[in-house]
């Protein structure tokens, strides 16, 4: 059998879509980018209906985006948040988006993080998380979120991570609906 | 700024160390491989003191190994279990290690999975997990495991995933101790 390594990059539409110089000021601005990435990922058939983006908190500078590429990459780990964390850390050359010489970072994610991504959020070093669609919206489409409990959020909050939920929820949930209407694979249902 | 993609492979000692034709029969056999990978990763200075391996459940055939490469790869996601899942799925060309045309798979991990890896276990498709060192052993070395609760395990068990804890616990915990004695970075402490 082959023993291939792991290699992936952004889908090619990312470069065409993003203006890396733009500043994202409000939570809604940041969320609308995460949602736009999710929507584009569905429309281009490059993965699932979940998008994310990481920003410098102080000035709204975009550091990375992420999109769910589980099915095309044959890799159950590559949720939108995970790709955003990996890409940000590769760009900054640091396994933690925090530290004395680093500005504070925040994550916008088009849907409440699953158990894996919530754990990853703790290790990532981001200080704040803006969430769009809610767990119930994903579950309504048969996407499982895994073992996430109120105590899970409380654990991260005790570590200094702030959460803002339900930002542009309807717009974010609409992308889940779009995916299902296009007969997208709900692979963990 | 650069926008690098993601690329990584096994450390070079993996090929020299492993006999891919060997069958791993008992839980202790499987765990000792995960522990040997963790130990070698420490001794070769290629990452943290955590190792994992994935096997076909019926015949003990080795499918992949994984080791914590967070620090050398600048990537907070690359815990031992995550690398093992990614490598197994890349090898099999499937985002799920389960399905009608696929044998059942199991994971051996040298330490109880953190919150991220426990979530990933649910998405990976493995049916059984063999754990070595326990959460308390990792915490004693200041490694944080994140929001994992008894209900987290219960959630996965309800999805048909079986856990066997504390297999070769002392040998597994010894690798954590070895890492700390060599002044390894406890990066999420």
Closest C-alpha among A140, A85, A138, A89 to residue A107: A85
CATH topology of domain B27-179: Cytidine Deaminase; domain 2 (3.40.140)
What separation in angstroms does the CA of A27 have from each of A10, A51, A130, A161, B18? 24, 15, 7, 16, 49
Provide the chain B residues 9-68 that lie in CB contact (below 8 A) with chain A: 9-10, 20
pTM over 0.95: yes
pLDDT per 10-residue tile (average), chain B, 189 residues: 83 94 97 98 97 97 97 97 98 94 97 98 98 95 94 98 98 96 80
For B23, which DSSP code?
Answer: B
For tokens 């495991």, name the residue: B145
Residues with Cβ < 8 Å from A87, sequence gap 6 or more?
A10, A64, A65, A66, B3, B6
* Across A3-12, average pLDDT: 91
Q: What is the pLDDT of residue B184?
A: 87
CA-nearest of A41, A45, A44, A98 to A66 is A41
pLDDT at A177 > cutoff 60: yes
State residue A94's pLDDT score.
96
Q: What's the whole-number mean pLDDT along residues A48-57? A: 98
Find the CB nearest A147 among B70, B144, B155: B155
Domain A21-180, CATH homologous superfamily name and number: Cytidine Deaminase, domain 2 (3.40.140.10)
- A118–B74: do the CB atoms touch at under 8 Å? no
Residue B70 near residue B78, CB atoms below 8 Å: yes
Q: Which of A53-62, A123-132, B65-74, B138-147 comes out lowest in average pLDDT?
A: B138-147
- Cβ <8 Å between A10 and B1: no
Give the pLDDT band of residue A13 (cuts 50, 70, 90).
very high
Tokens of B178: 């070895």
Q: How high is the ipTM of this complex?
A: 0.96
B125 part of contact set with chain A, CB < 8 Å: yes
CA distance A78 to chain B (A): 9
Instruction: Tell me the mean pLDDT in the region A136-164.
Output: 96
Q: Which of A75, A160, A184 to mutate to test the interface with B (most CBs of B within 10 A)?
A: A75
Interface touch A77/B86, C-beta < 8 Å: yes
Q: What is the pLDDT of residue A185?
A: 85
Minimal C-alpha gap between A9 and chain B (Å): 5
Query: Is the pLDDT at A189 greater than 80, yes or no?
Result: no
Q: Which residues are CB-neighbours of A106 under 8 A, at least 6 positions away? A: A30, A54, A55, A57, A126, A127, A128, A129, A130
Instruction: Identify whether the C-beta of residue B75 lies closer than 8 Å to the C-beta of residue A123.
Output: no
Q: What's the rounded Cα separation, in Å, for the pair B38 and B175? A: 7
Q: Where are the domains of chain B?
A: 27-179
Res A154: pLDDT: 98
Which string of b and e fits B30-46 if b means at least 16 CB within 10 Å? bbbbbbbbbbbbbeeeb
* pLDDT on residue B185: 85
Q: Which two tokens stand for residue B94?
A: 């499937």
Quote the pLDDT of residue A2. 61
């Amino acid at each position: 059998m082959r023993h291939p390594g792991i290699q992936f990059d952004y889908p090619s539409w990312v470069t065409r879509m993003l203006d890396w110089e733009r500043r994202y000021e409000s939570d809604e601005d940041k969320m609308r980018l995460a949602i736009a990435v999710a929507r584009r990922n569905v429309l281009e058939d490059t993965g699932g209906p979940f998008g994310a983006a990481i920003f410098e908190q102080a000035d709204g500078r975009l550091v990375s985006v992420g999109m769910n590429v589980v099915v095309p990459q044959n890799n159950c780990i590559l949720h939108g948040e995970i790709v955003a964390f990996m890409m940000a850390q590769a760009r900054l050359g640091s396994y933690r988006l925090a530290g004395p010489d680093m500005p504070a970072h925040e994550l916008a994610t088009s849907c409440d993080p699953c158990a894996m991504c919530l754990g990853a959020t703790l290790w990532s070093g981001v200080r704040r998380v803006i969430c769009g669609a809610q767990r119930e919206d994903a579950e309504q489409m048969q996407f499982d979120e895994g073992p996430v409990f109120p105590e899970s959020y409380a654990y991260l909050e005790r570590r200094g991570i702030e959460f803002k939920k339900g930002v542009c929820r309807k717009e974010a949930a609409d992308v889940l609906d779009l995916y299902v209407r296009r007969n997208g694979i709900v692979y963990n249902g």
